[in-house]
Amino acid sequence: MTKFLIGLAAFLIAFHFGMRYMLTYQLTDEDVRAVLFGVVPLSVRKYRFITEVHVASFFEGDFITLAWRVPNRLITAQVVTIFSKGSESLFFGSVLYTPDDPEGFARELRRRVFQQTGRLPLGS
């Protein structure tokens, strides 16, 4: 039993500190994406479909029921939730990211959505 608990603790620590290097968030000219190992996109949201960008506490973000969660850390103070409409959000209308600087990430994302579409997404 103790070997299991030690293994579980080691896994959780490695996940918490290692995933931020394996899973990154990229703002491109046309979309925002979560990319594994720098090449495998796990989540792609085109700017033209983004309707809202919210920054919330970790616990508030946990209560968004149908959000596609793409975290690169286990515990963080704030999360960024991106709401989309259109064909790319058929099953999950929202996606939850955990960037290093949530406020700065959301601000830059809103700026890029406005630059692409001419409308400012709702947000907090």
In the chain, what are the domains?
A: 2-123 (2.30.29.30)
Residue 42 in this model has a pLDDT that exceeds 80: yes
Extended beta strands in 11-121, E state:
23-27, 31-36, 40-46, 50-57, 67-70, 78-84, 94-97
What pLDDT, on the 0 to 100 scale, is given for residue 53? 92
Read off the pLDDT of residues 77-121 as tens digits, 9 standing for 90 and up. 888 888 888 655 555 678 888 888 999 999 999 999 999 988 888
